[in-house]
Amino acid sequence: MMSLLLIGFSLLFIAVHTLRTSLASPLNKIPGPWYAKFTSLVLKWHEFRANRTRYIHRLHLEYGQAVRIAPDEVAFASATAVKEIYCSGGSGYDKTNFYDLFKVYGKRTMFTTLNKDDHAKRKRVIADRYANTNIVRPQSLNGIAERATNFVMRCYESVGGSLDLYVYLHAYAFDCVTHHLFHPYGTNSLLDAHDEAVMREVTFDDSLQNRLVAYYWPTIHKVFGQILSLFAKPRETPLADSFVLDTSAKTGAAPFTLLDRLHGSSSQLDQLDIAAECLDHMVAGIDTTGDALCFLMWELSQPASMHYQRKLQQELRANPTASFDKLPFLDAVVMEGLRCFPAIPMSLPRHVPSGGRTIDTFYLPEGTEVSCQAYSVHRVDRSVFPDPDAFKPDRWLEPKGDAERKRLFFAFATGGRGCVGKHLALAEMKMLLQSVYSRFTTLPDATMKPIDLEMSDQLISSRPQAQKCRLRFVPLEPANGK
């Protein structure tokens, strides 16, 4: 009897303490749903249903650019918040333990370092390999061009039928990334392999639910992990693991590659650190570029966007020898594609530093989890992006408002911890689109439904709901009648 009373009083004390803490929180001044003051369960429910991004966006539309989404978590969608959280002090606030989920072989990589000092040390080793001056070297660009040509060959082979872009764009991204990481080492092009099973392994999406349980309830995951794996089996990538571990141990890679830099005397990394960093860059460079291209080419193929596809074809065919970075409308198409379909649309969580900070007039105590998500940053401020849900590349060609648009462009994050592979990704996207749309018109296959291309959240990235995107490729008439 006494033990039951003790348990009852303990539960009552916990409930009262939680209620008092919630009602006294300085975050109560921030708008948001009433339940966010007391529990994060609603947010977690949407995360487990692969719907976090859209859920938070709905809250932004209802409550504004600052919204409380959990007792100790706030989401922002303004340019001032982006600058404060991700750029203050150069690299912004430190990352949260959420990034522990992305350790590779138990090692921290540049992406998974939590504090800015550790990140800066690793970035000094890596950054020059992703500088634009390195990306535009002939050896680097020729590798991308060769892989774009391989992709075009697959398009010609599909004429009269259709091609699953979800498979082949990930294979294209894989080939481009491994060229930049390891050249001249590696495997034969996956675009030449005609092996869909191998191609699908280069998408590194793990079980979302399994990894969220590991993050939120690690004890439960340790105890019931074997049972959970029966329902949500973590994705296994033995071919990719074997490839990276074997290849990253080799020396003599081309000077423009990341592997060459990691083996340099200044890196001071052991072999497993090098392999972990290489695999991390593969993950970052394959799903993001492949999915972004998939969403963009699907959009360009829709009847409502066909006039944009025609305009892009006209620019490309009128300038057949132009460099990919000298084509204004191609740049506008890519920028708008990344605005509407950012490869990483979800929140990038950070901790408010010691002493607390004020963001958008709201004071947040130290330790509060804060974030911005590209999906909302690109849509909430309608004075900068009118008709935000519409795909309108022309908006990027208007001189008026150019600075404001660029301040709110968050597809590659921003600040010292922004995407180090931005220039490589843009080169891959533009060269692929240039190769395809100077030769083809793309149309959706009759088997595809709009719901198939609905955005499905993963841990940070997103992918098409159906994990497929079949398009038909119709060859254009030769330019100038030749």
Split at pLDDT 50, 70, 90, the class of 101 is: confident
Provide, rounded to the nearest whole percent, the portion of the chain with pLDDT above 90. 67
pLDDT of residue 239: 66
Q: pLDDT tens, 387-400?
A: 999 999 999 999 99
Average pLDDT value for the chain: 87
pLDDT of residue 196: 53
Judge whether 20 lies within some domain: no
Mean pLDDT of all residues in 308-334: 97
Q: Are strands 369-372 and 73-76 parallel, antiparallel or unpaired?
A: parallel
Judge whether 378 lies within some domain: yes
Token pair 């921290």 in the structure block, residue: 108
Judge whether 300 lies within some domain: yes
Q: pLDDT tens, 445-469?
A: 999 999 999 988 877 788 888 889 9
Contact 430, 420 (CB under 8 A): no
pLDDT of residue 481: 43
Provide, rounded to the nearest whole percent, the portion of the chain with pLDDT above 70. 84
Residue 127 has pLDDT above 60, yes or no: yes
Annotated ligand binding at 419? The verdict is yes
Number of helices and strands (H, E) in the chain? Answer: 19, 11
Contact 416, 120 (CB under 8 A): yes
Q: pLDDT tens, 417-451?
A: 999 999 999 999 999 999 999 999 999 999 999 99
DSSP, res 77: -
Global pTM?
Answer: 0.90
Q: pLDDT tens, 200-258?
A: 555 544 566 677 777 777 766 566 555 545 544 445 556 677 888 889 999 999 999 99
Domain that holds residue 77: 33-481
pLDDT of residue 66: 98
Judge whether 254 lies within some domain: yes
Judge whether 12 lies within some domain: no
Longest dimension (CA), the chain: 94
Judge whether 23 lies within some domain: no
Judge whether 22 lies within some domain: no
Residue 60 has pLDDT above 50, yes or no: yes
CATH number, domain of 69, equals: 1.10.630.10
Residue 6 has pLDDT above 60, yes or no: no
Residue 360 has pLDDT above 80, yes or no: yes
- Of the candidates 111, 253, 181, 146, the one whose C-alpha atom is nearest the C-alpha of residue 424 is 181
Judge whether 243 lies within some domain: yes
Split at pLDDT 50, 70, 90, the class of 408 is: very high
Number of domains in the chain: 1
For every residue of 115-153, DSSP letters joined together read SHHHHHHHHHHHGGGGSHHHHTSHHHHHHHHHHHHHHHH
